[in-house]
Chains A and B, each alone.
Chain A
């Protein structure tokens, strides 16, 4: 009951109170002091400022951010930060003595160099985006050439990503599928 009666009282005085709410009928002591001390001789400029409102981003924006974090996690960035492997390994050729780079850390399943992690993560994300492009090619009312290019880009992305991932894992683990 109480909120309703307050509502009725306030609705009659609402027009007057809300229209000049900032100035004359305020009981805030700090506001009154401020009105006297600096602002009796200083004139605040007229600005058009709005309190920033919080709007939610669109789902596809969030999806783009999610894809970025997925790329970082799947490339093994936590492993890179904690174990601090080199960016790329090196081995010395016995015969000539020259230093050759080694891209894939051999011998262990749970170990990597930084660059090999990033390139594998990129392949995974490319495969995912390929499937997304294939779906975009089917589901929209777009120009036929655009749909065709989406479809072909999607199919080639998936094929390349799968083949490269298989190649990477075969280089890293020589006994794979044998």
Chain B
């Protein structure tokens, strides 16, 4: 490039040699600077200019995707958010300290006392191994980072990588313009940001990258029919299986896609090679993860893939027979017999497998996606998680904004130009939107599909409009005498004598489209900043004068536990806080967020909802030393244990019929004031939350003992604890820790 600049400079120098030397030098310096800065003097060809623009857009999008996720790091500090990431952080710490073999064989005795947990066999290792590899690479390059910083920033890094994959995917489906728009949309889409902010060190941050990569590689394999791309997609699938339990979506969507291609008559050798290679190699690789094990051949959720695999073999066989036979009527009869036999044999095999119990039925978590009313009636633990609630329209609007308009338009463009790749993206979009409607958390899985389809709509619309704007110039310059140009003009629907009106109209519409996209960017940044950047472990509120007050009670309580309790103390709390207590407080817990043992959780729920003496018996049997409750009455914090109490009753009552939910309600209403049920006023949870609260004045003008979260004055203010004593209450009364007293001496 520099070589091309010099001749221009040389010409300028030679031309100005006749004037005075000082002015000449200044003039030449200025023109040198201008020439080196302007793009035209670089004498790039159009293709190179386009490549430069594309690469610079992708670089900007990459940096943007990383930057927009850093709000909470800048506002608070670099820490891990929420509940689940604390377990992931603890396991990553263990991995980097002890090595891979210790990690793989780790039996954790600090959680689920007295049962323990086989960590190596019950987690998805992809996230931890990824963060550990990044940490080791940085250490090898002599950057002395702490593993916590790597964990905090893993999710934004992978979000940036996802935008690159989205660009290539968009290029595969439509064209490079759609790919660029898709990368830009997915970089700031709130549906993805919500689970991949800096600090949210959870499986989904890495899994969405793996999901999109697997889909891109598979579509590339179907388009090219190359064995290399199919193998690459199998390895992408392996990465996805190691990262997240949502891999079941891939192993069901791809067979469904293959089935749709077969039905619409798009069977081809490329599809055969791609699906067979991906299924067989992917299945073998997936069995390397201990948590998954042999589920690919034993579980009902994976049987669709196997069925389609056999169907593909039948199609190949029929194709071969058709190639050998030359009599079409005989072939039709053969076709009917073979298809009937194959479907019959498959149905019989499925029936025998299900009846004999070898093929396990769909697990509750995935069955509730197909039948959403199932969890509400049968599995209260799944129904109680707030992320598992069905989606209302405002959640869609919050997470997608104008993509909700562009999605149906993009579907129209895809249906207009049906290829193997567009059929895939349509199916991905529709199935993921249905699942997003069933569960709020799954909006995350729908986000890449919605962004890609919307990018197709944006790209196609803007192309149409710019063609209108630019084709006008051609028609004006060539005049109406040339037949070819006017024919080209009319094929786009243009009529010559209304040129300026249509051109101005197209310019106005282009400005409107850019206005809408800028409103999208504003909305996304506002949502990220206000709604999705809170660490959940540090609460903040606006004070009386508008200043921000920070409540750091959780970490205060966990640090107190770490410093002031014996190292082998056992802490009982509701399962929400288990991971945080083990990671930050470094103490053994009874139940934690893994929720794998419903009876153990029900035992804790029963203890919380019984009278103090019955609860003491249960706590003695579990060797509990400390009890931790979360209370929001002083601050107005609404996600405390009293608001979650009914779920404890339901889960406990599901296993122990002694606990009946109507005992705690008055006329079907849940109250904590004077008119509350007597069992409610004397249960352990009530006593532990409101101990000494009756003496506290929380709000000006209200009586002492006014609960700000419920908005009522509590009913039982004079609480006496017989078997427990108060150990610690945090500065804003959010976390309260009680010590279980040893039993009295007999004589």
> Residues on A close to B: CB < 8 A?
3-4, 7, 10-11, 14, 18, 56, 59-60, 62-63, 66-67, 69-70, 73-79, 81-83, 109-112, 116-117, 120-121, 124-125, 127-132, 134-135, 137-142, 144, 147, 151, 155, 158, 161-162, 165, 168-169, 172-173, 175, 177
Q: A74-B433, A135-B413, A169-B394 are in contact. List 4 more A-B contacts (CB 8 A).
A: A10-B330, A56-B264, A76-B396, A137-B493
A151 to B, closest residue via Cβ: B505
Which residues from 385 to 428 on chain B have a C-beta closer than 8 Å to any C-beta of chain A? 389-398, 402, 404-409, 411-413, 415-416, 418, 426
Bound Cα distance A127, B397 (Å): 13
Q: List 25 A-B contacts (CB under 8 A).
A: A3-B321, A7-B330, A59-B418, A66-B430, A67-B408, A70-B407, A73-B433, A76-B437, A79-B390, A81-B373, A111-B392, A112-B392, A112-B394, A117-B393, A128-B412, A131-B405, A131-B408, A132-B408, A135-B461, A138-B464, A158-B405, A169-B394, A169-B397, A172-B394, A177-B526
A165 — which chain B residues lie within 8 A by C-beta? 397, 404
Bound Cα distance A151, B430 (Å): 28
> Residues on B close to A: CB < 8 A?
263-265, 321, 324-327, 329-330, 372-373, 376, 389-398, 402, 404-409, 411-413, 415-416, 418, 426, 430, 433-434, 436-438, 440, 457, 460-461, 464, 468, 490-493, 495, 505, 509, 516, 522-523, 526, 530-531
Judge whether B397 and A141 touch: CB under 8 Å: no
Judge whether A132 and B390 touch: CB under 8 Å: no
Judge whether B394 and A121 touch: CB under 8 Å: no
B526 — which chain A residues lie within 8 A by C-beta? 177
Query: Knowing A155-B509, A177-B522 touch, does A78 contact B412 (C-beta < 8 A)?
Result: no
Min CB distance B112 to A, Å, is: 31
Judge whether A139 and B415 touch: CB under 8 Å: no
Min CB distance A170 to B, Å, is: 11
A140 — which chain B residues lie within 8 A by C-beta? 493
Query: Knowing A129-B408, A131-B409, A135-B464 touch, does A112 contact B415 (C-beta < 8 A)?
Result: no
B508 to A, closest residue via Cβ: A155
Judge whether B330 and A144 touch: CB under 8 Å: no
B402 — which chain A residues lie within 8 A by C-beta? 127, 162
Judge whether A139 and B437 touch: CB under 8 Å: no
Bound Cα distance A132, B324 (Å): 47
Judge whether A128 and B405 touch: CB under 8 Å: yes
Judge whether B395 and A110 touch: CB under 8 Å: yes
B395 — which chain A residues lie within 8 A by C-beta? 109-110
Judge whether B393 and A74 touch: CB under 8 Å: yes
Bound Cα distance A81, B437 (Å): 11
Judge whether A121 and B390 touch: CB under 8 Å: no
Judge whether A7 and B394 touch: CB under 8 Å: no
Judge whether B376 and A82 touch: CB under 8 Å: yes
A161 — which chain B residues lie within 8 A by C-beta? 405
B265 to A, closest residue via Cβ: A56
- Tell me which of A10, A125, A155 contacts B408 (CB under 8 A): A125
Judge whether A70 and B433 touch: CB under 8 Å: yes
Judge whether B372 and A81 touch: CB under 8 Å: yes
Min CB distance B465 to A, Å, is: 8
A169 — which chain B residues lie within 8 A by C-beta? 394, 397-398
Min CB distance B63 to A, Å, is: 25
Query: Knowing A138-B468, A139-B493, A141-B490 touch, does A63 contact B415 (C-beta < 8 A)?
Result: yes
B416 — which chain A residues lie within 8 A by C-beta? 59
Query: Knowing A82-B373, A135-B413 touch, does A127 contact B394 (C-beta < 8 A)?
Result: no
B398 — which chain A residues lie within 8 A by C-beta? 109, 169
A141 — which chain B residues lie within 8 A by C-beta? 490-491, 493
B522 to A, closest residue via Cβ: A177
Query: Knowing A56-B263, A62-B415 touch, does A79 contact B391 (C-beta < 8 A)?
Result: yes
Bound Cα distance A141, B329 (Å): 43
A70 — which chain B residues lie within 8 A by C-beta? 407-408, 411, 430, 433
Query: Knowing A3-B321, A110-B391, A112-B394 touch, does A132 contact B409 (C-beta < 8 A)?
Result: yes
B405 — which chain A residues lie within 8 A by C-beta? 124, 127-128, 130-131, 158, 161-162
Judge whether A60 and B490 touch: CB under 8 Å: no
Query: Knowing A76-B393, A82-B372, A155-B509 touch, does A60 contact B415 (C-beta < 8 A)?
Result: yes
Judge whether B389 and A110 touch: CB under 8 Å: yes
B461 to A, closest residue via Cβ: A131
- Tell me which of B406, B433, B523 contacts A131 (CB under 8 A): B406
Bound Cα distance A151, B505 (Å): 10
B464 — which chain A residues lie within 8 A by C-beta? 135, 138-139
B393 — which chain A residues lie within 8 A by C-beta? 74-76, 112, 116-117, 120-121
Bound Cα distance A58, B395 (Å): 33
B418 — which chain A residues lie within 8 A by C-beta? 59
B394, B416, B436, B490, most chain A CB atoms within 10 A: B394
A121 to B, closest residue via Cβ: B393
Min CB distance B326 to A, Å, is: 6
A74, A82, A172, most chain B CB atoms within 10 A: A74
B324 to A, closest residue via Cβ: A3
A112 — which chain B residues lie within 8 A by C-beta? 392-394
A134 — which chain B residues lie within 8 A by C-beta? 461, 509
Min CB distance A150 to B, Å, is: 10
Bound Cα distance A134, B409 (Å): 10
A81 — which chain B residues lie within 8 A by C-beta? 372-373, 390
A66 — which chain B residues lie within 8 A by C-beta? 411, 426, 430
Judge whether B412 and A7 touch: CB under 8 Å: no
Min CB distance A21 to B, Å, is: 10
Bound Cα distance A43, B222 (Å): 55
Min CB distance B206 to A, Å, is: 26
Query: Knowing A128-B407, A139-B464, A162-B516 touch, does A78 contact B394 (C-beta < 8 A)?
Result: no
B531 — which chain A residues lie within 8 A by C-beta? 109
Judge whether B325 and A3 touch: CB under 8 Å: yes
Judge whether B406 and A69 touch: CB under 8 Å: no
B395, B397, B490, B523, most chain A CB atoms within 10 A: B397
**Top-5 shortest CB links A-B:** A128-B408, A127-B405, A131-B409, A112-B392, A79-B390
Min CB distance B540 to A, Å, is: 15
Judge whether A77 and B493 touch: CB under 8 Å: no
Bound Cα distance A139, B412 (Å): 13
B530 — which chain A residues lie within 8 A by C-beta? 175
Judge whether B415 and A147 touch: CB under 8 Å: no
Bound Cα distance A131, B407 (Å): 10
Judge whether A11 and B372 touch: CB under 8 Å: no
B404 — which chain A residues lie within 8 A by C-beta? 74, 124, 127, 165
Bound Cα distance A169, B531 (Å): 15
Judge whether B394 and A18 touch: CB under 8 Å: no
Judge whether A142 and B493 touch: CB under 8 Å: yes
Bound Cα distance A71, B530 (Å): 29
A119 to B, closest residue via Cβ: B393
B390 — which chain A residues lie within 8 A by C-beta? 76, 78-79, 81-83
Judge whether A69 and B392 touch: CB under 8 Å: no
A3 — which chain B residues lie within 8 A by C-beta? 321, 324-325
Judge whether B493 and A147 touch: CB under 8 Å: yes
Min CB distance B307 to A, Å, is: 20
B396 — which chain A residues lie within 8 A by C-beta? 74, 76
Min CB distance A120 to B, Å, is: 4
Min CB distance A78 to B, Å, is: 4
B394 — which chain A residues lie within 8 A by C-beta? 109-112, 120, 169, 172-173
B434 to A, closest residue via Cβ: A73
Min CB distance A80 to B, Å, is: 8
A125, A162, A173, most chain B CB atoms within 10 A: A162
B265 — which chain A residues lie within 8 A by C-beta? 56
Judge whether A11 and B327 touch: CB under 8 Å: yes
Min CB distance A132 to B, Å, is: 5
A110 — which chain B residues lie within 8 A by C-beta? 389, 391-392, 394-395, 440
A59 — which chain B residues lie within 8 A by C-beta? 415-416, 418
Min CB distance B394 to A, Å, is: 5
Judge whether B321 and A78 touch: CB under 8 Å: no
A129 to B, closest residue via Cβ: B408
Min CB distance A74 to B, Å, is: 6
